[in-house]
Chains A and B, each alone.
Chain A
């Protein structure tokens, strides 16, 4: 099995590890994957549902605040999802087993759509407050 480009294993190579070290690494990975398990499926509800035409500083700040929370949740959830994928791939590399969900990490469509909405919203706010 080929090692992933991004890894949590540092410069470790399976070939250079004793069986005991491989087992310790594998156990540590399994524990970490277990920590993330309940978190990766949590989906925060978005505060921004559509592009809002902001007409004043007040509503720009209100909408910006909502967009900030949406983006923060997206960064957090996407980081955890991606990290879990990397760790699953590392575990598969160490054990030489195949994992059914070690496919390349890809953002879900609703995340991509929300990021597009947030980007458009920021541009609108910037223009409405006269950048």
Chain B
């Protein structure tokens, strides 16, 4: 489990790296083949161990981090002494934060049920 999920106070803005980003998204090796294998294994056998489910959640988190790492790099290239990138909340409608909060809530629920 990613370290920030051990902290019950994690916010949706932080989890989805809203600008200004308070932490740099981590970039790791992501294995799509491993994700496919776990999902296929479940489809065929109908059940998976708790550790396998945890691994799947970790892999999806890494994928999410990779997406925000791309965004971070692009935003960094735009930010300079003349251009100040606005906050995500100013760039996107409120619905985004509301849905992001639902994602974090659901994630906590799944972690709790898995353990």
Contacts and interface: CB of A to CB of B under 8 A. Distances in A.
Interface of A: 6-10, 24-25, 28-29, 32, 35-36, 39, 56-62, 64-65, 67-69, 71-73, 75-76, 78-80, 82-83, 86-87, 105, 107, 115, 118-119, 122-123, 125-126, 129-131
Complex A-B, nearest 4 residue pairs according to Cβ-Cβ distance, in ascending order? A65-B60, A28-B82, A32-B78, A82-B91
B9 interface: no
A80 B56 contact: no
A129 B109 contact: yes
Contacts of B51: none
A7 B82 contact: no
Contacts of B96: 75, 78, 115
5 contacts: A32-B78, A61-B114, A62-B39, A79-B91, A83-B85
Contacts of B106: 64, 122, 125-126
A69 B60 contact: yes
Contacts of A87: 78, 83
A64 B56 CA distance: 10
Contact of A60 (B74, B88, B103, B110): B110
Contacts of B77: 32, 35
Given A28-B83, A65-B35, A71-B16, 15 more contacts: A6-B86, A9-B82, A24-B82, A25-B82, A29-B82, A29-B83, A58-B48, A61-B53, A64-B110, A71-B100, A75-B92, A87-B83, A118-B99, A125-B110, A126-B105
B80 interface: yes
Nearest to B79: A32
Contacts of B60: 64-65, 68-69
A78 B100 CA distance: 14
A75 B16 contact: yes
